[in-house]
Amino acid sequence: MKSNNHKGKILHLITNLGTGGAEMMLFKILSGMDREKYGSEVVSLANIGSVGQKIQNLGIPAYKIGMHIGRPDPLSIWRFIHLVRKLKPRLIQGWMYHGNLAAQFVNSFLPKPVPVIWNIRHSIHDLAYEKWMTVGVIRLCAKLSRKPAFILYNSNVSADQHEALGYVADNRLMIPNGFDTDLFTPSEEAKSAIYTELRIPLSSALIGLIGRYHPMKDHANFIRAAGHLSKSHEDVHFLLAGKNVDTENKELMNLINEQNLSSKVHLLGERDDVNRLMASLDIASSSSYFGEGFPNVIGEAMACGVPCVVTDVGDSGAVVGDTGRVVPPRDPVMMASAWQNILDLGFQGRKDLGMKARERVINNFSIKAIVSEYENLYSKFL
């Protein structure tokens, strides 16, 4: 793909460009930036996924190395070094652990090293929950953490946790996630359409969890909480969407059947209309046990005027503030109780709380303000 007129100014290095919170945040930043002033290119260490295609549709070059993360071969490493030398970046920004390490690594092969920024999107509850290869990269990055000009975090909890593991604090910088409040907005039309799709009455309440199937997301916690709530609320339905969140997932189906929820839980798989799904909910949830920094789905739900119940992981509680409820992780009884509390507010009470949540996002986490923070950071180097 042909490069833009500002070839090589800012080079973003990321592990992959499939659907994910970090990948979507990169896309949103690139969508909102002044491209006349800030030229960008993207290199994915693995492949161009759905988000990579969205980036290319913006007219921004996105390249793939085709590397097998965790076992890179000499040929893919050579391709990577050769491509970055050819792009001649003036600033390199890594995304997530492998992208950060790759940014620092490839910088040493440039004719003249350039400033490097790391972007950490993950909190660390306990290294025991991470893959052994990821733990190795986390520890190696701790030893190298004086090298980047800045280490960006989207969560204060994450920054504190990494610094406790040996990451230097001198170059810490906090920029939270941002949200498009024109795309993610309350919509009665979306609610009606999704209820029709699911074949549930409009009088039912709908509680949702949107996110890929992964141990950190703790879908079991959500399903068990749904089982508790359903004992006293027959008219509540549950919407789940995300990669591998479908009827082909035997582990998830077993959880649902154990709770006798097969008629109440709706598995939608990976969707490209998350804004409509969010707007259809009465309550949105994050049931994560570990790993979250600043969950995009919570900000998106709040922007849609939907109150949230979240586990106290990463900055989830700080994001929700007093516009939702915060519960301990792995406590389905407490999660069900928090859902009950919000349902007891009634329609108008939930609507008022949801609009308070939307106002919180507009005031604190609008994508325009967050993009401006990134542009101000890049201006220090360009």
Q: Name all domains of the chain by residue range, CATH numbers in brackets.
A: 10-178+366-379 (3.40.50.2000), 188-364 (3.40.50.2000)
At a CB cut-off of 8 Å and minimum separation 6, what does 333 contact?
225, 228
Q: How confident is the model at residue 4 (pLDDT cuts 50, 70, 90)?
A: very low
Amino acid letter, 360: R
**Residues 79-83: contacts with CB within 8 Å, 24+ apart?**
80/43, 80/45, 80/106, 81/106, 81/109, 83/43
Q: What whole-number percentage of the chain has pLDDT above 70? A: 98
First CA to last CA distance, the chain:
24
At a CB cut-off of 8 Å and minimum separation 6, what does 164 contact?
none
Q: What pLDDT sits at residue 314?
A: 85
Q: How confident is the model at residue 59 (pLDDT cuts 50, 70, 90)?
A: very high
pTM of the model: 0.82
Q: What pLDDT sits at residue 382?
A: 85
pLDDT digits (tens, 9 = 90+) for 221-260: 999 999 999 999 989 999 999 999 999 999 999 999 999 9
CB contact at 8 A, 155 and 293 = yes
Mean pLDDT across the chain: 93
Task: Print burial letters for 253-288: b (CB count within 10 Å at least 16), e (below 16).
Answer: eebbeebebeebbbbbeeeeebbbbbbbbbbbbbbb
CA atoms lying within 13 Å on the CB side of residue 119 = 23
How many residues appear in the chain?
382
Would you say residue 2 has pLDDT above 50?
no
Share in percent of the chain as helix, strand, coil (round to 5)? 45, 15, 40
Would you say residue 7 has pLDDT above 60?
no
Rounded Cα–Cα distance for residues 162 and 160 (Å): 6
Indicate the SS3 state at residue 311: strand
pLDDT digits (tens, 9 = 90+) for 69-115: 777 789 999 999 999 999 999 999 999 999 999 999 999 999 999 99
At a CB cut-off of 8 Å and minimum separation 6, what does 63 contact?
1, 41, 42, 43, 44, 48, 83
Rounded Cα–Cα distance for residues 12 and 106 (Å): 12
- Per-residue pLDDT, averaged over 310-320, amounts to 93
Would you say residue 193 has pLDDT above 70?
yes
pLDDT digits (tens, 9 = 90+) for 108-151: 999 999 999 999 998 887 787 778 888 999 999 999 999 999 99
Q: What pLDDT sits at residue 6?
A: 46
Q: What pLDDT sits at residue 164?
A: 94
Candidate from 4-18, 84-98, 298-312 with smallest mean pLDDT: 4-18
Pick 132 or 211 by higher pLDDT. Answer: 211
User: In the chain, how long is the greatest CA-to-CA distance?
Assistant: 67
Rounded Cα–Cα distance for residues 366 and 57 (Å): 23
pLDDT digits (tens, 9 = 90+) for 142-180: 999 999 999 999 989 899 999 999 999 999 999 999 999
For residue 76 the two structure tokens come to 């893919």
